[in-house]
């Protein structure tokens, strides 16, 4: 072989080795560089909220096992019946009982609320009041399971919140672990909203952690059974201003074994080929969402100031681009930020809220800003809805509903709506979420976030 070919071979070898080394360095063989958490001590009491009967093990099996080993009380709350047409609710119930038993819990540690699988978003946003319950496909309007926390519980948001408040008051958790509002599955996103609601309503002052399960198509990466890998947060959700703060909970080999064994009890859900086995890793992953702060302004900005561009809204929080139902392909409905300006004693009586999308907002879409405002005289539920060039606000408080048109301008892919400053006159805490809907389908939605006014 002459020197030329030897050099070419050497070059090929160097390039291949470099490529291999690079690919290898991208594999999650090391714990991601975030603080450890949740930290749990002997005085703690841990409440884990699972939208469906299996979420408790998939994302929290290691935490549950750790708590059992350290004699830390655990309460698992399963929100829905897991009735997914091919599996009976009783089967799902039994899988959770057996799965959590494998982890070391007893049946008394698990509470089943029994609401319909897939209905939580309706209950939170549309069917809140007892006078307007959700009707399931089987015609039922209330829980019918004997094993449920409250038999005959009405399918409505107020009742779900009431159940969770009772459990929090009785169990007195110091740590609540619940789904991330960035989870793409609607029951998970809504459960997150319910927990933000009840923790505000009850004045809960313990710690809150969220867990992420559904973020298609590429997370967790790789999406398969690799127990020697670490679970790493999705790139687009790291380092976002006011976004999730990540925590790593490393598992011992024994805890990993218990978790894997518990998965075998969820026979109808976690089949050997299931991507859910991606969650059998060296660690579990949690995130805290910081409460957002808005300072009251006194500059009395008017709609013409926004139209002229002389006043800008400050972004309150961000939503990933490229997410949602079509992974961002509907650019006009891909929400990227929510802004707010709360005016104090405004001459024109208006404060401002904005939604920014990747593409120009579409007149055929519906954009909703939902807020629950926690005033001492009662929690006010507010829905600002933008459709076809018109913005409306609906306010519900203590059974009274009012609806009226409000100012709207569209500028730089941003919808800006004028809302009454009166909503915030007592500096209440509130929670807020935004979604974009087309032909009844939710294309994108933000998490529910807690906001404090100063």
Task: List residues near Ca ion by CB under 5 A.
Answer: 319, 323, 334-335, 444
Please give the Cα distance from 149 to 163 (Å, whole number).
Answer: 8
Please give the Cα distance from 28 to 269 (Å, whole number).
Answer: 26
Comparing CB distances to Ca ion, the nearer of 326 and 374 is 326
Minimum distance of Ca ion from residue 173's CB (angstroms): 31
CA nearest neighbour of 160 among 169, 150, 170:
150
Please give the Cα distance from 394 to 131 (Å, whole number).
Answer: 17
Q: Which residue of this chain has its Cβ atom nearest to Ca ion in the complex?
A: 319
What CA dihedral angle connects 87, 212, 206 and 95, to 10 degrees? 20
Comparing CB distances to Ca ion, the nearer of 196 and 323 is 323
Q: What is the DSSP letter of 85?
A: S
Long-range contacts of 20-29 (CB under 8 A, 24+ apart): 27/229, 28/221, 28/229, 28/230, 28/231, 28/232, 28/281, 29/228, 29/229, 29/230
Distance of alpha carbon 438 from the chain centroid: 21
Is the bond preceding 341 in cis, omega lying within 30 degrees of 0? no
Minimum distance of Ca ion from residue 367's CB (angstroms): 12
Comparing CB distances to Ca ion, the nearer of 183 and 323 is 323
Comparing CB distances to Ca ion, the nearer of 206 and 322 is 322
Minimum distance of Ca ion from residue 216's CB (angstroms): 14
Minimum distance of Ca ion from residue 179's CB (angstroms): 18
Minimum distance of Ca ion from residue 323's CB (angstroms): 5
Comparing CB distances to Ca ion, the nearer of 74 and 335 is 335
Minimum distance of Ca ion from residue 192's CB (angstroms): 16
Comparing CB distances to Ca ion, the nearer of 114 and 361 is 361
């Amino acid at each position: 072989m002459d020197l030329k070919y030897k050099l070419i071979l050497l070059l090929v070898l160097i390039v291949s080795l470099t490529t291999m080394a690079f690919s290898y360095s991208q594999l999650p063989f090391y714990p991601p560089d975030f603080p450890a958490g949740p930290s749990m001590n002997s005085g703690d009491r841990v409440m884990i909220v699972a939208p469906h009967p299996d979420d408790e093990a998939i994302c929290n099996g290691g935490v549950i096992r750790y708590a059992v080993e350290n004699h830390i009380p655990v309460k698992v709350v399963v929100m829905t019946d897991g009735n997914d047409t091919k599996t009976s609710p009783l089967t799902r119930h039994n899988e959770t009982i057996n799965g959590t038993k494998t982890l070391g819990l007893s049946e008394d540690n698990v509470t089943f609320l029994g609401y319909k699988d897939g209905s939580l978003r309706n209950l939170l946003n549309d069917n809140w009041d007892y006078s307007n319950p959700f009707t399931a496909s089987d015609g039922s309007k209330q829980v019918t399971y004997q094993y449920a926390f409250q038999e005959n519980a009405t399918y409505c948001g107020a009742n779900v919140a009431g159940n969770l408040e009772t459990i929090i008051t009785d169990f007195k958790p110091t740590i609540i672990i619940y789904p991330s509002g960035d989870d793409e599955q609607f029951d998970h996103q809504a459960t997150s909203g319910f927990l933000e609601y009840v923790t505000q309503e009850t004045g809960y002052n313990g710690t809150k952690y969220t867990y992420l399960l559904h973020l298609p198509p590429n997370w967790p990466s790789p999406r398969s059974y690799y127990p020697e890998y670490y679970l790493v947060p999705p790139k687009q959700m790291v380092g976002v201003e006011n976004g999730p703060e990540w925590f790593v909970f490393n598992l011992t080999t024994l805890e990993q074994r218990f978790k894997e064994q518990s998965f075998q009890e969820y026979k109808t859900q976690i089949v050997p080929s299931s991507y859910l086995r991606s969650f059998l890793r060296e660690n579990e992953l949690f995130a805290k969402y910081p409460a957002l702060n808005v300072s009251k302004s006194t500059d009395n900005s008017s709609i013409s100031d926004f139209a002229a561009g002389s006043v800008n809204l400050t972004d309150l929080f961000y939503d990933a681009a490229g997410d949602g139902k079509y992974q961002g392909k509907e650019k006009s409905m891909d929400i990227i930020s929510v802004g707010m300006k709360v005016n104090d004693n405004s001459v024109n009586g208006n404060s401002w809220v904005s939604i920014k999308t990747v593409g120009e907002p579409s007149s055929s879409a519906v954009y909703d800003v939902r807020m629950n405002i926690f005033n001492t005289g009662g929690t006010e539920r507010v829905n600002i809805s933008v459709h076809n060039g018109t913005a409306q606000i609906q306010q519900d408080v203590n059974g009274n509903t009012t609806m009226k048109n409000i100012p709207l301008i569209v500028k730089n892919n941003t919808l800006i709506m004028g809302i009454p400053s009166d909503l915030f006159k007592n500096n209440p805490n509130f929670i807020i979420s935004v979604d974009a809907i087309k032909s009844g389908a939710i294309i994108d939605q933000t998490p529910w976030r807690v906001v404090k006014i100063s």
